[in-house]
Structure 1
C-alpha cells in the first residue's frame, strides 16, 4: 500500500475490508442506483492550420487501387476462454484493479500538471520532452485507457485537446512514420471506436492523409521517416537498410481507417507492403523469415543476416494473425495466415530455446526467443532474451486459437510464463531489457547441469542467467501483454496472481515523487536508480494490460477487438 498516495490509503482499505467481508460471507454487493450520464459538450474538430495533405500532389499515383475486402465477415474461431460465470470477480481482484487505476491516475495527473500537450513527462524532474514531434503523444496514446478506466471527464478534456492538435506545426523536419502511426493514428482510431465521437475520426483522417503521403515513392514502399519537404517535392524513397517492422507494421491502422472511411487508398497502400512480404518470404538467408533490416528500396531481403522476433522485427510478425482477424477472414486474409504459419514453423525450429534452470524454479515449461546470425562460416545462434520479444507468447496464443494449432497455444503459454518467471527471478521484481541464458534447444531435454552453470553462469545473478547485458527496465508492456492474453485464452485464475506479483515489482522499483520511471538496473538490491523517462506506452499499454487482466473478461474481449502493437483496440467488423 505504501506505494500509493497517502490520501487514498484509508478509503481504499475501508473499501477492500468491506468488499472482502461481504465476499467471505457470500453476501451479494448491491449495485448503486443507475443515474443518467451527465451531458457532455460534443467534441469539435479543429483543422490543422498549415498544409492540407489531402490536396497534396501525388508524384507516383497508382491505378487501379486494391479495394478493401468487403462482404460478410467469416465465422472465426473463438479466442477467449468460455468464462461463463466462473471468472474470479471477488473483492481482492477488484481492489487490485483499483490499485492499477490509481497508478494510472497518479501518472496522468502529473502529466497534466507538468507536461500537458507535450509528448512525455519526465517523472523524476517534473519536466517534459518531445521525441515524437511535440504532438502530445502521451495524451493521444492514453485516450482509450481513460475511457476503459471510466475516467470519462478526463477522457473528454483530453479528447478535445487531441482534436485541437495542429499536425502541420512541429519543430521537426519530419516524423517517425511507424511511431506516429501506432501511437497517434492508432490512439485516435481506438478512441473513436470506443466513444463514437465523430471529431476523433475526423482528426484521424487528417493525420491519415499526411501519413499516406509516405507511400508516395517510386515503388510505393515507405521510408522510415516521413520528411515533409521531400513529400511535397516528390523525392521520397524507401530505405535501403530499414527495420523490417517499420513499414510492415501499419497494416492494422490503415485497414481500420479504410474500413471507417470507405477509402480504398489506405488499404491499397499497406496491401502493397503485404504483397512484398509474401513474395520475399522464401528469398532470405533463412527462408520463411525476414531479416531484421530490409532493403525496401530494391525490395530485397537477401542482404540482411540477422533474424529475430525481437527489436527491429517484432511487430512484423505480430501483425500477421491480427490482420487475418482485422480482415474478418475475407479475401486477402489467407495471405496473412499463410505467412504466419510458415514464419512460425521456422521461428519454432531456429529462434526459440529452452533455458537451463533448476526444476524448483518452474514447474511449467519455459521458452525464450533468441537471435540467429548468418555468417559466411555458417549460422550462429545467440540465446539472448529481450523484454521486447515477450510479446511472442500472445502472438502464438492468438495464432494457435485462430488457426486451430494446438502446439502454438502450448508454445505461447511457455513463452508467456517464461517472461513472468524472469520478472520473479530478479530482486526488483522486473526483468531486464536484454539478458543471456544458459540454454538448450527448443525441444531438447534440459536437465540442470551444475558444471555447465559453473562454466557459463554469473553467480551474482539468478540461476540460469549468464548476464543482464542491458539491465534497464523501461516500463515496457510486452510481458504483461502475453500474460493477459494467456489469461483470456485459458481462464487460468492463477495468472492474475502472477500479474499482481509483476505489478507490485514494478510499483516498488519505479515509483518517483511524481509518477513512475524507467530504471537503470533491475539487479539492484536496494533503491533503484531512475532514468527520468516515462514513455507514452506506460499509460497506453503497460497499465492498460494490468487493468484489463483484473477486469471482467468481457471488457475489451479479444473476440470483439483487435489490439494494435500499442494496445489500441479496433473493433472487429
Structure 2
C-alpha cells in the first residue's frame, strides 16, 4: 500500500455562515451525494425499522392520515433505543456510575468504592432534549440529594471536567435548577489545586477531592487542555474568573512549547515543562480534544486567541501529518520537531471526531474526506474497531467500545453542509449498533467487532456513561428537529454536553 503525503490545502477559512446554520427545522439541504454504500435510510425504514413505516415510505398505498416523514420515524427509533438503554441502567445501577447490563451489576468509574452517579449526570441534557421531563426531574433530585463533590477519592481531572462539571452545567442550562450550578462550582473548586499547585500552570493528572493532594506530573495534551469550554462557561455563569484563567494559563504553557513547525508533542512534564513524548499523534488520543477545545472554546467563549491557536496548529497538522493511503485521507504520527514519520500506520476510532472538527474550523473539504475514510471502515466493519491499520483497514484492536465519534462528525458535517449523506451514514451506524450491541439490559461494549452478530463471546458487559451523553444525542438532534435546541448557536463539548443552545424549561 502506497502512503502519499497530502499537499498543504488552501488556508483554513470560516465556514459559510448560511451553511453553518443548517438545521432540521430550516435545513440548507443539497441532495444526498448518492455514494451507493448501502440502501438508503428510507428503504431501510420501509423494511421495518420503526414498525409501522412500510406504507408511509414506500408509497405502496396512500395512508389515510398525513404521512410521517422518514426523519420522524428515524427519531422515534433513536428515542426508543435510548430509553431501552436508560431503563437498563435504572433497573440495575441507579445511583451508581455505570451499569453492567449482562451480569446486572454496577461499575465505579472514577475510583473503586466511590460513586458520582456518572450515568445520571451524563444523561441529563439528552433526556431533556428528548422531552423526558419526569426523568430529568428524577435525575436532578438525585443529584441534589446524593451527589458528593468532596469524596476522599483521587480522580482524573480530564474525566471529571468533561463528564461531571460539563454534565452539571448542561443540566443547569436545561432546567435552571440552582443546585446543579452550585454542585458544578463546588466540584471545580476541588479540581483547581491540580492547576494552582503546578509550577507551569499545566494541571497534574489527578487530585484528591477532599484533601487537594495532587499526583501525575506527566500529562497528555487532552488532559491538559480539555477544560476551556466548561471552565469558561462556569466563569461566565458565576462571574468568577479563576476557572477560565486556570484553563488559559495551561493552554499558554503548552502552546509556547510548540516546535518550529507549529506541531505539539503528545505528553509533557507539568513541573519542568519538558516534553515527555515528542511525537505528534493528532488527531488520535491522547491529544484529540486539546485541539477540539481550541476551536469549540474559541467559538463558545468568543476568544479569538483560542481560535487563532487552533488555526495555526491545524494548518501544521494538515501540512505535515495528512497522508493518502488507498486514495483515502488519514493522519500519520510524526516527530514534532522534524515532521518525519514516527510510528506505525495506526488510526484510533477516537480520532474519527476530527472530520467534524475540521469542518467546523473551515476545512470542510478535508473534513469530508476524512469522514469518507471512516465510512470505508464502517463498510468493512459495521461496528468500528477501536483501532485500525489505515493502509489496509484491518483491525488492530478488535474491541468495540460504543464510541460516538463517527456520529459526532456526521452531526457536525450535516450542520455545516446540510448534506443528507451524513444523516444516511449516521443512521446506518445506528442500525449496526442496535443490531450488534443491544442486549436485554441495554447496550454493551464488544470484545470483538468481527465476531458474528449476537455472539455471546463478543459481549464485554458494560454500558459506558458516555453512551447516555453522546451516541444517540447526535442522532436525535439530526432527526428530531427538537425545539429545545437552537440549531443556529447550539454547541456541544467533547463529551456531547450541550453547553450552548439549550432552551430551558425550569423543571
Q: TM-score range by the shorter chain?
A: 0.7 to 0.9
The Cα offsets for residues 217-275 of structure 1, whole Å up to 9 and x where unpaired, read as 042332100124652xxx646x4421111021111100000111111111211121122
Question: 1:119 and 1:343 mapped to 2: Cα distance?
Answer: 36
Following superposition, the deviation at residue 544 of structure 1 comes to: 0.9
Q: Please state if 1:341 is matched with 2:311.
A: yes
Question: 2:482 and 2:390 mapped to 1: Cα distance?
Answer: 35
Aligned partners of 2:205 and 2:218 also within 8 Å: no
SS of residue paired to 2:192: helix
Output aligned runs, 1:253-292, within 5 Å: 253-282=230-259, 287-292=261-266
Q: Please state if 1:164 is matched with 2:145.
A: yes
Q: 1:441 corresponds to which residue?
A: none
Which of 354, 358, 375 is matched with 1:396 structurally?
358
Aligned partners of 1:278 and 1:335 also within 8 Å: no
Question: 1:437 and 1:11 mapped to 2: Cα distance?
Answer: 33
SS of residue paired to 1:297: coil
Q: 1:307 corresponds to which residue?
A: 281
Q: Pick which of 129-138 and 205-214 moved more.
A: 205-214
- Two-structure CA RMSD over aligned residues (Å): 2.8
Question: 2:174 and 2:255 mapped to 1: Cα distance?
Answer: 33
Following superposition, the deviation at residue 474 of structure 1 comes to: 0.3
SS of residue paired to 1:353: strand
Question: 2:272 and 2:134 mapped to 1: Cα distance?
Answer: 50
Following superposition, the deviation at residue 120 of structure 1 comes to: 0.3
Aligned partners of 1:436 and 1:468 also within 8 Å: yes
Q: 1:208 to 1:368 in 2, by over 3 A?
A: same
Following superposition, the deviation at residue 343 of structure 1 comes to: 1.1
Question: 1:159 and 1:398 mapped to 2: Cα distance?
Answer: 32
Which of 380, 384, 396 is matched with 1:425 structurally?
380
SS of residue paired to 1:380: coil
Q: 1:381 to 1:201 in 2, by over 3 A?
A: same
Question: 1:288 and 1:316 mapped to 2: Cα distance?
Answer: 15
Question: 2:339 and 2:259 mapped to 1: Cα distance?
Answer: 21
Q: Please state if 1:541 is matched with 2:470.
A: yes
TM-score normalised over the length of structure 1: 0.73
The Cα offsets for residues 160-190 of structure 1, whole Å up to 9 and x where unpaired, read as 11222342564x6311111011111100101
Greater RCO, 1 or 2 (C-alpha within 8 Å, sep 6+): 2
Question: 2:335 and 2:388 mapped to 1: Cα distance?
Answer: 17
SS of residue paired to 1:294: strand
TM-score normalised over the length of structure 2: 0.82
Q: 1:223 corresponds to which residue?
A: 204
Following superposition, the deviation at residue 539 of structure 1 comes to: 1.1
Question: 2:482 and 2:321 mapped to 1: Cα distance?
Answer: 32
Q: 1:515 corresponds to which residue?
A: 442
Q: 1:445 corresponds to which residue?
A: none
Q: 1:540 to 1:218 in 2, by over 3 A?
A: closer
Q: 2:131 corresponds to which residue?
A: 150
Unaligned runs of 5+ in 1: 1-9, 31-89, 358-365, 401-407, 439-463
Unaligned runs of 5+ in 2: 1-47, 503-507
Q: 2:334 corresponds to which residue?
A: 372
Question: 2:351 and 2:158 mapped to 1: Cα distance?
Answer: 18
Which of 115, 119, 129 is matched with 1:134 structurally?
115
Question: 2:434 and 2:242 mapped to 1: Cα distance?
Answer: 44
Aligned partners of 2:281 and 2:333 also within 8 Å: yes
Q: 1:124 corresponds to which residue?
A: 102
Aligned partners of 2:233 and 2:301 also within 8 Å: no
Q: 2:370 corresponds to which residue?
A: 415
Following superposition, the deviation at residue 555 of structure 1 comes to: 5.8
Q: 2:188 corresponds to which residue?
A: 208
Aligned partners of 1:175 and 1:227 also within 8 Å: yes
SS of residue paired to 1:474: coil
Aligned partners of 1:372 and 1:382 also within 8 Å: no
* Residue correspondences, number: 450
Question: 2:192 and 2:488 mapped to 1: Cα distance?
Answer: 29
Which of 44, 49, 71 is matched with 1:93 structurally?
71
Q: 1:217 to 1:418 in 2, by over 3 A?
A: same
Q: 1:389 to 1:11 in 2, by over 3 A?
A: closer
Aligned partners of 1:123 and 1:517 also within 8 Å: yes
